[in-house]
Amino acid sequence: MAASARDSADAAERVVDDHDGWASDGEMGMEMDVEGEFHDRDADRRDGGMDGDDEYLLLTRIRDTSAAEARAGKDIQGIPWERIHIARQDYRKARLEQYKNYENFPQSGELMDKLCKQVEKSSKYYEFQHNTRSVKPSILHFQLRNLLWATSRHDVYFMSNSTVTHWSSLSHKLSEVLDFSGHIAPVEKHPGSLLEGFSGVQVSTLAVNEGLLVAGGFQGELIGKDLEGCNIKFCARTTLSDNAITNAIDIHRSTSGSLRITVSNNDCGVREYDMERFQLLNHYRYNWPVNHTSVSPDKKLLAVVGDDRDALLVDSRNGKVERFRVQSDENEQGLSWNGSGCNPTQTNEA
């Protein structure tokens, strides 16, 4: 690539990053570092570092993009490519050439491409629908993958800085659900729940289901809120381990219909709690940090993945473990059961 093309691509990447409000897809680093870099770039533009205040205002006042606008030729991210002096396809080409994907094991991505069936993206499912600029989720670390939940076709819950926020795709309105920057304490009394609560929790994972919001923290915190009554139901600490990050939470019903949560933790444990009395029912221990646990639709099995190339199927009635090898050379980060409830499907870092 010629030097001028590289310079244009670099300039375009700065603008694209600023439009997104976070790092480009897959880019690593802590949120505060990324935002600091953005602020510096913004200051440069306001000082006339690019083309002055006029261009800065134009590039940052990006509105939503609808499906009709996209069909008419508008960029789905709202990026005004005609003002950046590089075509979108040239920027994309430079991005693919320069971007280095994070992998625990070299060439694992190429291996998965060979093993996995290639998807045809011609169906309506893959058609662009809407892009909003008002919704700005944030993460504290690139490996945290459970900080956004869609509870219906139109309701989305996500972390934005220290706040859980709800967005409706019907009204296009944002509303604050729970702010973790201050002090949080439960109004209900349960054995194991800390009445003194927590202050300044850094949220590492989130789950919303059955009218319940449960958040997990970097120090093993668990906080539950009743979305209908708007009360904090419990505050608890799952572990005092130095490696206490809460990685994933699964809200589900037991075979008897009672509401439960299953919590995956970096201390190599999976814990199951009853939500009626906030009582610890089961504690499974493994040899590696657990990244995600998913309960099967029939409630009989737990699928467990973590910092290991193998996954586990656990009988929820007796804790019996069956190990199976997933088709991946990466540590497993997430897992979900397919529509029939017979086979789990996993994700990894490749």
For the chain, which domains are there? 3-100 (no CATH), 124-348 (2.130.10.10)
**Can you tell me the distance from the alpha carbon of 12 to that of 5, in angstroms, rounded to the nearest whole number?**
10
Size of the chain, expressed as the number of residues it contains: 350
What amino acid is encoded at 26 in this protein?
G
The model's pTM = 0.75
Task: From 193, 176, 177, 162, select the one nearest 227 (Cα to Cα).
Answer: 177
Average pLDDT over residues 310-335: 70
pLDDT of 51-79, one tens digit each?
555 555 555 566 789 999 999 989 998 88
The answer to whether the beta carbons of residues 184 and 191 sit under 8 Å apart is: no
- pLDDT band (50, 70, 90) for residue 104: low
Within 10 angstroms of residue 146's Cβ, the number of other Cβ atoms is 21
- pLDDT band (50, 70, 90) for residue 24: very low
Q: What rounded mean pLDDT belongs to the chain?
A: 79
What's the DSSP call for residue 14?
A: H
Q: Is the pLDDT of residue 322 over 70?
A: yes
DSSP 19-77: HHTSPPTT--S-HHHHHHHHHHHHHHHHTTSSS-HHHHHHHH----EEHHHHHTT--TT
Average pLDDT over residues 82-103: 86
pLDDT of 155-179, one tens digit each?
999 999 999 999 998 998 999 999 9
Helical (H) or strand (E) element with 97: helix 88-98
Phi, psi of 163 (to 5 degrees): -125, 135
Read off the tokens for 105.
């094991």
pLDDT of 217-255, one tens digit each?
999 999 999 998 889 999 999 998 888 999 999 999 998
The answer to whether the beta carbons of residues 48 and 55 sit under 8 Å apart is: no
pLDDT given for residue 225 in this prediction: 96
Average pLDDT over residues 253-266: 93
Average pLDDT over residues 80-104: 85
Q: Is the pLDDT of residue 269 over 50?
A: yes
The answer to whether the beta carbons of residues 76 and 65 sit under 8 Å apart is: yes
